[in-house]
Amino acid sequence: MGKQWYTISVYSENHVGLLNRISGIFLKRHINIESLNVSKSEIEGVSKFTIVVFTTEDWTRKIVGQIEKQIEVIKAYYHTDDETIYQESALFKIASHLLFDERQIQNIIKESNAQIVTVNREFFALAKTGRRHEIDEMHDALLPYGIMQFVRSGRIAVTKAAMPISEILQEFQEN
Amino acid sequence: METLKAQKKDSKSQKSIRISGAEAIIHCLLAEGVDLIYGYPGGAIMPVYDELYKFQDKLTHILTRHEQGATHAAQGYARVTGRVGVAMATSGPGATNLVTGIADAQIDSTPMVCITGQVTRSLLGSDAFQETDIVGISTPVTKWNYQITRVEEIPEIMAKAFYIARSGRPGPVLVDITKNAQFDELDFVYEKCTAVRSYKPAPKPEPSSLEKAAELINSAKKPFIVFGQGVILGEAEAELKALVEKTGIPAAWTILGLSAMDTDHPLNVGMVGMHGNYGPNMLTNECDLLIAIGMRFDDRVTGDLNTYAKQAKIIHFEIDPAEVNKNVKVDVAVLGNSKETLSQILPLVNKNEHKEWKAEFDKMYQIEYDTLINNDIHPTKEGLTMGEVIEQINMASGHEAVIVSDVGQHQMIACRYAKFKQSKSNITSGGLGTMGFGLPAAIGAKMGAMDREVVAIIGDGGYQMTIQELGVIFQHNVPVKIVVLNNDHLGMVRQWQELFFDKRYASTVMTNPDFVKIAEGYHIKSRRVSERGDLQEAVKEMMASKDPYFLEVKVEKEDNVFPMIPSGASVSDIRLK
């Protein structure tokens, strides 16, 4: 079975030790977490982990089974890229004088649909949201001019199919 | 506490009492029906020990000689009773010493609650004296764990700990309690936990999967059942027996499934796995339907997965969805508690017999008996065998004893030859293979089943890993029978060195002390046997003793355990010699 990108979505209680527990599941199997994002979800009081891995479906399924087994996990799903709508965000910090000295930078900003978040005398900050390759392209375009700082977030994703967490919570309550 | 229990039906009318966190912990334990705990005191757990002192008429605390012993004793107690075992320790080294037992309980699905003291909340993260991140350390080996830092959390977390430990697929839970939470006071009300929102202990059996499974069972020509501890944990022994008898399907147990069925049941065909019986291993690769019940296809059971039961359809009765298709791809998974699933499938299966198929198991047993078993249990060579010792214990106990084993050759021999009439009678460290498990586990088993004979079978290596627990046996006069099968070697490792490492015996010879003198130092009746002529009488004397008894049997130094499936080989490559 070939390896590909999988997005694992984990709905859970907000519990302090859970991140450690979940990351341990990957560690034990020597599978690298390519990106990780933790946020609130569409349901009040329910957290959502979005984890990206590059591995086989068999491993992904087993990992999701182990994650789901954790007491505070309500439900875990995995999806391929085709089954999700996903984005990443990046911030670039660049010296302000480059805006005037290197006219090309303005073109890069326009073409990449990046936003200028702040400008001051020393630096300006650019925010870019998009697919990994779009951010990488922008990064590569800016690199020759000098990037003071760069950071990219983990993937965030919503799935095309439903993830009926409210129904599952309802079921837990009935049992 | 009786009043607290009585009140819990109507929690709203429940009156709270103003007590310290430490006292609250005791009330929680009593409310959960705990009357026996194993542990070791120290700085960060002292407030709880102070309360234990006050409650000693209701709650017995057994001071083990090492915290690891506390966990194994709690495991032994849990395995023999089916109840939650409890171990307690202080922070730092006290807590880290629990880890081996916790890992053992996790892999063998044993319900256990471990309570550890922790430095006071304001010192957390300051590298205080005896501070260690036991929640972090124990995370991969616990079913659940939690650090209590506020006294108000105690009742809810303790209730949750016991519920999680015993429900569904059982396992160990660790609750770490900072010292401030033990000293502070709360308005204590206890309510047992009956559900956790995000946790489903056991899936409900799907009627469609039951029907598919029944269809496969009814049409199979050579069906074969392999059952594990899931039958014991689900208390489904009667349901298993009914299924086996109605369908006439030969059934083998895994090492942790031992005693879930009468050894002498005509359809019990013995043990699968690396040192299991010849027939069930060989015929795994000839059956047309493999029915796995409450077992997890451990590598010691399956050998090489690429050649494991490839010809067969496979049904997996399992409580833990994460176990399905983990190691072996199955055709039908029947999820749920074994008691429910087995009782629900029973009306769907046809009454049947598989005489010819069963005869193949009998034929293979005869081969194994003639080439191996007879020599093991009725040897004619000079040196004593481990097998004949187990056979003598069988005869003296009438198959009624609880057999606790440690890890190694003696364990495999005990599991091969010990006979059982009652469930929950075989206590061994199957998954983790923890040397040192046997002696403390036997203490816990005996204290959990005082009306039963408990015989610990231990090798000279593992014995010395937890030998200090003789102190508990002496202090509390725990009448366990300890049999050390002494071959002056780490026998199983020696066997592998002989077979697979060209007889390079690296660090497997043991120069042992005088074990009888050590037992005598603890005032435990003891005896050493090195001649066959003395064995039967010595075993009888041991079994007749009302007090703890230590029996050392000097066995042949260089015996190997067979049959054996070499590591990574196919089950059908099992070697008889």
Q: Work out the average pLDDT over B293-300.
A: 98
Position B410 scores a pLDDT of 98
pLDDT for A169: 86
User: If you average pLDDT over residues B552-567, what whole number do you get?
Assistant: 96
Q: Domain range holding A129?
A: 86-152
Give a yes or no: residue A166 inside a domain.
no
Query: Please, what CATH class does the domain formed by B382-555 belong to?
Result: alpha beta
How far apart, in whole angstroms, are the C-alpha atoms of residue B36 and residue B74? Answer: 9
Check residue B13 and give its pLDDT: 53
Domain shared by A147 and A123, yes or no = yes
Do residue A25 and residue A92 come from a single domain? no
Residues of B in Cβ contact (< 8 Å) with A12: 198
Residues of B in contact with A69 (CB under 8 A): 320-322
pLDDT of res. B517 = 98
pLDDT over threshold 60, residue B475: yes
**B358-374 tens-digit pLDDT:** 999 999 999 999 999 99
Calculate how close chain B gets to A30, using CA atoms only, in Å.
Answer: 14
Same domain? For A43 and A101 the reply is no
Q: What is the pLDDT of residue B14?
A: 72
Which stretches of chain A sit within 8 Å of chain B by CB? 12-13, 17, 20-21, 24, 28, 61-62, 65-66, 68-69, 71-74, 169, 172-173, 175
Least confident of A100-114, B29-43, B53-67, B292-306: A100-114
Domain ranges in chain B? Answer: 2-188, 207-359, 382-555
Structural domain count of chain A: 2
Among A24, A65, A175, beta carbon nearest to B200: A175
Q: d(Cα B296, Cα B310) in Å, to the nearest integer?
A: 17
Which one is the CATH code of B2-188: 3.30.460.80, 1.25.40.10, 3.40.50.970, 3.40.50.1100? 3.40.50.970
A67 assigned to some structural domain = yes
Per the CB < 8 Å rule, is A172 touching B197? yes
- If asked whether residues A51 and A116 sit together in one domain, one would say no
Q: Is the Cβ of B11 closer than 8 Å to some Cβ of chain A?
A: no
Q: Are residues A8 and A19 in the same domain?
A: yes
Q: What is the CA radius of gyration of chain A?
A: 20
| pLDDT bracket for residue A168 (50, 70, 90) | confident
Instruction: Report the C-alpha gap between A25 and A31 in whole angstroms.
Output: 9
Q: Which of B11-15, B104-108, B266-270 has the lowest mean pLDDT?
A: B11-15
Domains B207-359 and B382-555 are alike in CATH topology: yes
Q: What is the chain B residue with the closest CA to A64?
A: B322
pLDDT of residue B3: 40
Size of the A and B interface in Cβ pairs below 8 Å: 51
Residues 6+ apart with CB under 8 A from B76: B85, B404, B427, B440, B441, B442, B443, B444, B445, B446, B448
Mean pLDDT of B90-101: 98
Q: Considering the domain boundaries, does residue A173 fall inside one?
A: no
- Taking an 8 Å cut-off on Cβ atoms, the answer to whether A172 and B326 are in contact is no
Q: Would you say domain B207-359 falls under CATH 3.20.20.70?
A: no
E strand segments, A57-83: 73-80
Residue A102 lies in a domain: yes
**Are residues A115 and A99 both part of a single domain?**
yes
d(CA B465, CA B469): 10
How many CB atoms neighbour CB A161 within 10 A? 9
Query: Does the active-site annotation cover B55?
Result: no
> In whole angstroms, what is the distance from residue A11 CA to residue B185 CA?
35
Across B12-21, B89-98, B111-120, B526-535, least confident range: B12-21
> What mean pLDDT value characterizes chain B?
96
| Subunit contact A65:B145, Cβ cutoff 8 A | no
**Does residue A174 lie in a domain region?**
no
Does B67 qualify as catalytic in the annotation? Answer: yes
Examine the domain organization and report whether A107 and A144 are in the same domain. yes
CA B385 to chain centre: 25
Residue B5 pLDDT: 42
pLDDT at residue number B7 = 41
> Cβ A69–B321 below 8 Å, yes or no?
yes
Subunit contact A71:B164, Cβ cutoff 8 A: yes
Contacts for B417 with CB less than 8 Å, ≥ 6 apart = B373, B376, B377, B387, B390, B391, B394
Task: For residue range A25-78, list pLDDT tens digits in order.
Answer: 999 999 999 999 999 999 999 999 999 999 999 999 999 999 999 999 999 999
What integer is the mean pLDDT of A139-154? 96
Question: CB distance B326–A21 less than 8 Å?
Answer: no
pLDDT value at position A175? 62
- Asked if B355 is an interface residue toward chain A (Cβ–Cβ < 8 A), one would say no
Residues in CB range of B28: below 8 A, 6 or more apart: B154, B155, B158, B159, B190
CB-based contact B452:B473 (threshold 8 Å): no
Residue A175 is assigned to a structural domain of this protein:
no
Mutate to test the interface with A, among B173, B193, B197 (most CBs of A within 10 A): B197
Q: What is the model's pLDDT at position B4? A: 41
Q: Report if residue A170 sits inside a domain.
A: no
Residues A59 and A109 reside in one and the same domain: no
Query: Which pLDDT score, from 0 to 100, does residue B15 have?
Result: 85
Same domain membership, residue A134 and residue A74 = no
Chain A residues touching residue B324 (CB < 8 angstroms): 65
CATH number, position A118: 3.30.70.1150
CB atoms within 10 A of CB B129: 11
**pLDDT tens digits for B149-170?**
999 999 999 999 999 999 999 9
Cβ neighbours around B333 below 10 Å, total: 21
User: When comparing pLDDT for A102 and B534, which is higher?
Assistant: B534
Quote the pTM value.
0.95
Would the pLDDT of B2 be above 70?
no
B198 CB within 8 Å of a chain A CB: yes
Nearest CA in chain B to A12: B198
Which residues in chain A have Cβ-Cβ distances shorter than 8 Å to B340? none
Q: Please indicate whether, in this complex, the C-beta atoms of A65 and B200 are within 8 angstroms of each other.
A: no
pLDDT higher than threshold 90 for residue B8: no
Domain final position from A53, A84, A115: A84
- Residue A169 within a domain: no
How confident is the model over B166-177, as a mean pLDDT?
Answer: 98
Average pLDDT over residues B501-520: 97
Confidence band, pLDDT 50/70/90 cuts, at residue B323: very high
**In the predicted structure, residue B88 carries a pLDDT above the cut 90:** yes
The band of B325, judged by pLDDT with boundaries at 50, 70 and 90, is very high
Instruction: Find, in chain A, the residue whose alpha carbon is nearest to that of B321.
Output: A65
B329 shares contact with chain A (CB less than 8 Å): no
Tokens of A163: 């993830």
- A71/A124 same-domain check: no
Distance from CA of A73 to the nearest CA of B (A): 6
Asked if A61 and A15 sit in the same domain, the reply is yes
